[in-house]
Amino acid sequence: MYKRITVIMSVTLLAMFGAAFTQVNEAHANVDQEINDLKEKSEKATEKRKALSGELSKLENLIEENKEEQSEMRSKINSLKEEINKAQNQIDEKKGEIERTQNEIKKVENEIQELEEEIERLKQKIKELKQSIKETKRKIEQREDLLTDRLRNLQRNGGSVKYLQVIMGASDFGDFISRTQAVSKIMDQDQAILREHLNDKMKLEKDKQELEDSKAQVEENKNQLSAQRDQLEGQKESLVADMRDLQGLESSLNDKLSEQNTLLANLQKKEEELHDHKMSIDEERANLASQKRAFDKLIDELEAQKRAEKKAAQSGGTVQQTTNVKNDSGFIRPTSGVLTSGFGGRWGDLHAGIDISRHGPGVAVKAAASGVVSRSYYSSSYGNVVFIVHMVNGQKYTTVYAHMRNRLVSEGQTVSQGQVVGHQGNTGRSYGQHLHFELHKGSWNMSKSNAVNPASYGIQ
């Protein structure tokens, strides 16, 4: 009877151990499958990282080429600026010459105006003198008639005899004296008439010649000044033509400079875009590399869990939980507040997560599931952001917690579900305090092709 009981107990124990070994083997198989999947995804991530490294290298080469183009363009711009400065100096010199020429022209024009006015005065004077000469000629003609009559009388009557008869015909001495004085006066009057007559003729000839000479001189001066003005006008036209040429050169150089500046601005914008792209690639590469390390750590902890389960099965003891990276209970809501923006299209692009907002300081942000922190850093777009990788019910996930005021966990750190990783904030490209939460079924990538709606996992 004792042997029978012993046999029964042995069979029972064997059955129990067999069932336990079966469970352990099944668990081992599941873990092996998970590890193989993770290794396969890790290899893909490694390949992608290599591809990103190649793309980054190309971008760096493009940036260097762009910098060389910018340097060459700046050199051309400096040369153009020097040409423009030289042209501007020439333009300033020409402007000075034109201004001096214009002043000279104005001076000559004033002199010509004065001469024209003087000529008009002389013309008026000549007109008056001509009238006076005409009157004098009339008087001279009258005198000549008078003198001619006297000369005829003198010739007919013996000239001085008549004067003598007048004197000798006096009745007494007093009459003689009177007659003598009268004859003397007549003779003096005749001489005065002759002198006046001659003087008038000489003066008129002299005045006429002087006026004619003055008029000729004025006309000569006017012609000379007019020729000078014509010459200055020609110089002015030449200078204006040179000015137009220089202005055309300046305009051409300015157009070239504007074109070069536009090209330089485009190159600078291109460089900014290349730098932004490089930063995105750097960021993605760093995130993928850190995700690989985090999942490697998950694999190590899962293998440690597997070894612990195997050891416990072999010893017949109980299996203790050695890690909290494996989740079987799903996800929890990462923070409190109102859902302000859901998953899906927004502003013509994909909003690859949800926004939860609650006003007030110190609004905690918690890990939606247990896992390993793959990245904790400041991003130009995400602001203060934390990435955590998880294994939930045998499936790999990645969660993202962005725009936080601070970060309380670091890369490689193992966190428990509900552990505070930071607080709601307004950092990066953010408008108002909130948490931007993303859930990726698998790894995070820049295109966010693995993003899923958190509402499908009870987070809303």
CATH code: domain of residue 298 = 1.10.287.2610
Q: What percent of the chain has pLDDT over 70?
A: 63
Residue 186 belongs to a domain: no
Q: What is the DSSP string of 359-374?
A: -STT-EEE-SS-EEEE
**Cα(176)–Cα(166) distance, integer angstroms:** 9
Q: Where on the phi/psi map is residue 67: left (φ > 0), alpha (ψ -120 to 50), or beta?
A: alpha
Residue 62 belongs to a domain: yes
Same domain, 328 and 314: no
Residue 456 belongs to a domain: yes
Same domain, 396 and 413: yes
Same domain, 301 and 337: no
**Cα(146)–Cα(142) distance, integer angstroms:** 6
Same domain, 306 and 221: yes
Do 384 and 345 contact (CB within 8 A), yes or no? no
**Cα(370)–Cα(324) distance, integer angstroms:** 6
Same domain, 234 and 369: no
**Cα(337)–Cα(435) distance, integer angstroms:** 9
Q: Is the pLDDT confidence value at 383 over 50?
A: yes
Helix (H) or strand (E) holding 370: none
Instruction: State the pLDDT confidence band at 366, using cuts at 50, 70 and 90.
Output: very high
Residue 175 belongs to a domain: no
Same domain, 23 and 74: yes
Same domain, 335 and 205: no
User: Averaged over 166-178, what is the pLDDT?
Assistant: 57
**Domain end position, chosen among 290, 318, 346:** 318
> Greater confidence, 336 or 239?
336
Residue 172 belongs to a domain: no
pLDDT tens-digit map of 216-274: 877 887 787 788 778 777 777 877 787 787 777 778 777 877 877 777 676 666 555 45
- Hey, which of 145-149, 323-327, 406-410 has the most confident mean pLDDT? 406-410
Do 229 and 112 contact (CB within 8 A), yes or no? yes
Can you read off the two tokens belonging to residue 21? Answer: 């070994």
Specify which residues 335 forms β-bridges with. Answer: 365
Residue 171 belongs to a domain: no
**Cα(38)–Cα(289) distance, integer angstroms:** 14
Instruction: State the pLDDT confidence band at 160, using cuts at 50, 70 and 90.
Output: very low
User: Averaged over 386-396, what is the pLDDT?
Assistant: 91
Do 437 and 368 contact (CB within 8 A), yes or no? yes
Q: Is the pLDDT confidence value at 18 over 60?
A: no
Same domain, 283 and 331: no
User: Averaged over 21-32, what is the pLDDT?
Assistant: 57
pLDDT at 219: 80
Can you read off the two tokens belonging to residue 205? Answer: 């000839």
Tokens 């995130």 correspond to 287
Same domain, 227 and 298: yes
pLDDT tens-digit map of 414-454: 999 999 999 999 998 888 899 999 999 999 988 889 999 99
Tell me, what DSSP letter sits at residue 379? E
> Mean pLDDT score of the chain, rounded to an integer?
75
Same domain, 79 and 226: yes
Can you read off the two tokens belonging to residue 453? Answer: 């709606």
**Cα(234)–Cα(445) distance, integer angstroms:** 77
**Domain end position, chosen among 286, 318, 350:** 318
Do 382 and 399 contact (CB within 8 A), yes or no? no
Q: Is the pLDDT confidence value at 161 over 50?
A: no
Do 439 and 451 contact (CB within 8 A), yes or no? yes
Same domain, 93 and 144: yes
Residue 163 belongs to a domain: no
Tally of structural domains, the chain = 2
Helices 173-315, 160-168: inter-axial angle, 10-degree rounding: 130
Which of 175-189, 359-373, 422-436 has the lowest average pLDDT? 175-189
β strands within 252-337, DSSP E? 326-327
Q: What is the CATH number of the domain that holds 376?
A: 2.70.70.10
Longest CA pairwise span in the chain (Å): 231
**Cα(289)–Cα(389) distance, integer angstroms:** 13
Instruction: State the pLDDT confidence band at 408, using cuts at 50, 70 and 90.
Output: very high
Residue 177 belongs to a domain: no
**Domain end position, chosen among 277, 293, 318:** 318
Q: Where on the phi/psi map is residue 360: left (φ > 0), alpha (ψ -120 to 50), or beta?
A: left
Of the candidates 416, 342, 426, 420, the one whose C-alpha atom is nearest the C-alpha of residue 384 is 426
User: Averaged over 201-216, what is the pLDDT?
Assistant: 75
Instruction: Note the Cα 325 to chain centre separation in Å.
Output: 55
Same domain, 53 and 104: yes
Look at residue 356 and give its three-state secondary structure.
strand
Task: State which residues form the domain around 48.
Answer: 1-157+194-318
Do 432 and 452 contact (CB within 8 A), yes or no? no
